[in-house]
Structure 1
Amino acid sequence: MIVPLFKSLRSRLLLGTLVSLLIMLFVAQIFMSDLFERHVEQRVHDELNERLNFMGAKLDNALGTGSAQNAGELLGEELARLEPGYQRPLSGYYWQVATNGQTLRSRSLWDASLDVAGNTSNGSIDFIPVQGPDDQPLIAALRTVSRSIVIDGRRTPTVAHLIATVPRSEVHNALKAFKSEIDIYLWILGILLFLVGMVQIQIASHPLNRIRNAVSAIRRGTIARLPGTGPSELTTLVSEMNDLLDALDQAVEKARSRAADLAHGLKTPLTVIQGEMEHLRHTGVVTAEQAEGIEQAVDQLENHIRRELVRARVRGSTAGAVTRLEIRPHVTRIVQILGRLPQASDIDFVITIDEDASLAIDASDFTEILGNLLENAIRHARTEIAINYVAGTQNIILSIRDDGPGVAESELGNLKLRGHRLDEHMHGSGLGLAIVEDIVEAYNGRLELESQHNHHFQARLIFPAV
């Protein structure tokens, strides 16, 4: 099961970037630390090699004194100039020379000696880890040299074993200091790389955001198709979506055509039936009651056909892209047409709608809605019908209010019951209101009815702003 947070493609990419960076930084820290440790050890080896070379160069003069004590002091003074640690007891910086049964050692060894065994030929050098006094870990350099030294006027052949050490902690401390510093820089580098990755993901996801905004714009009716510009990876997706929208529009047109054909196909037979019934009534073939019953059945059939045709047309229109409709011109035109009716001659129409007021709805559907509501209002208004438009951040409200007798509170509740036969109620708010409710719900809106008995009746159309 995927955690809801990581259902987002951006979250997954960020998580992948973070995990990859952590792995790379961890591996980089290991390799850099190992490389630095090798570098420090090589420097230590070079330093020990130089000190063994220095000891070998000073060995002839030191042993030529003929006294081990004097030789040790002379050699110790020379080496102390290179490393003061040779004078500090148990410092880890030690030197030792073993030759002709004599052992010369640094003052730092105190009374201890180094027991080091190595495989070295004459002049070669061997680096080995050893344990010093108090089991102190050391890095030792061992070299065996042959000398012919003049002692008391006689040249004497001598084999000397030279040893120089540094504490292993020198490498450890340098490595620890390096890690503490490199970790800071690696963390800074990691944060910068993660921020760069975030920017890259943001830039890479911009075309997806543009497609999402374009889809929202299609739903709002501001555009009809997705823009074709963008990366080649998304061009196919955009093309397929536009083809789908084209197919939906074609399906809508076909549905409308079939609905119109069906309406025309049924209208003529129903008209013939009504004419024949009127003829039968006049000729006395059927009684007036029989004729009235059949005419009522035909009227009900005609009303049902009309309502279902409207439903089919509305479902088709909302399936595709719906352009945004400027409603004030349409309201003005419908009011001008209905205002010519005889029963509307004494009624004032008050239109409160901004010039730029718009609604994402098909023009024919809007005409159907407003026409039915205004017909009901004209039928019952006394002197005035008010049409108001209010656009908020969440909803758009279009209200039609008449100053007629209104509807009792109990009957108003029945008008809003789902599935109730609205055409059986008073004030002509029957099939017209049913059609209005079907169309409004198809656009994710709702129809609210409000009335104060003997004062007014108001229908409020509430559509989502987006």
Structure 2
Amino acid sequence: MTSAFPFPKLRAAKGAQRPSKRGGSLTRRMIVVSAIWIILLLGVGGFALDRVLTRELERAFDAQLDYVLTALIASAEIGPDGEAYLNRPPADQRFLEPNSGVYFQISAVRTGGPPMGTADTDFPSRSLWDRRLQVRGGHNDFKVHVYNTTEFPTETLRVVERDARIPGSKLRWRFQVAQTRAELDDQITVLRSTMITSFGILGLGLIILAALQALYGLWPLRRVRRAIAQIRSGEKSRIEESFPREIEPLTEELNALLVHNEVQAEEARRHAGNLAHALKTPLTVITNAATAKSPDLADTVCREATTMRRQVDHHLARARAIGRRSSAQARADVWPSLQAVERAVSRLYENTTVDLAGDKNASVRVERQDLDEMVGNLIENAAKYGGGRVFVTVNTTPECVEIDVEDDGKGIPEAERTSIFDRGARLDTGKPGTGLGLAIVRDVAQIYGGSVQLEESEDLGGLLARLKLPLCS
């Protein structure tokens, strides 16, 4: 029976290769942040602008009422019967139309006490008809007071009032001018509606602009992603396109990483080939001896096994150094490494004295394990082949750190100082060893961009091994 999903493993593998979405979209983040910031700014700005424009409309509205109030006070007089009247009619005809929404009233008030106005003493506008404006207490000055009131059930009034004295009267008179807020509220409503529409369109346009900017600005990153996918699929080996100035360093670093990985892969292949080639001859010798049932088979196996061990140790040391070289955080302090090696060598060679001198704060761009291996081989060789004294000096230059290891032994002739670095080369076969110490030091130092060279010690008369390693600033 055929399954409905004939390739479940293939589907799972494809699903496993899909990138995780836990981090979210960078484009979405930028758009959301921009939208929130735009809405916040437009909201605060719109509120502030609404307050300012509303106050300006109310101020203009109050100014018109105050102008009418001043005209009323200027034209008010006292008649023979003590009542107030106007020596000229108001210019606004709405004061003459009943319930027109524009009113005035002149009322007598008692100084320091409640209002004393009555239907006989009040002088209302004809537009009030049978209604009267309330004469409130609460202020006893001659300043202008503005307030809203709902004393008329059908309309909300904006009232401007002021107390004044009319020549010929001992009373204090309160002049009131009122107008319905309907026209003012309509203007505010139209203003707010226009502002909301305008700010909404502006906000939408800004959000669209931010979205386009995010999409356009991040588009080079999508091109980088496509280029990396082409490299992974084998279509390309490098990122060759041109990118904006901000993206160019990223592509350069990616290309450098590709080169670095290719170099490491090539070195790994070369080391594997070298190791295979180096092991082939000893294995052939052992096989031939075993096939021929040679009487010295045991000696042959031991000799060739020693040779194979030297080769394995050498290539493993190089492989470890190459693998650790890629770490950008590689750093090792020289002095603690020298002290650790000095303690170990002093226990192995009791009749040897190792003296340390120089810069105690020097540090190199090398992994600590590889530094220990290099200085350990040099100091151990000096103790093994020297006369009992080893002198180690650390010098720091602007470019590198020099570690000089001197001994008081016989030294090495100048003609043989180059061949001694060959794998398995030994000048003194009477002492134990594999002949790989100096070869490992040279190879590991070169991997980190350093070097090692042999010279004659001027102070002790023996051999001087000068190890140079890159300075870690």
For normalisation by structure 1, the TM-score amounts to 0.49
Structure with the largest fraction of helix: 1
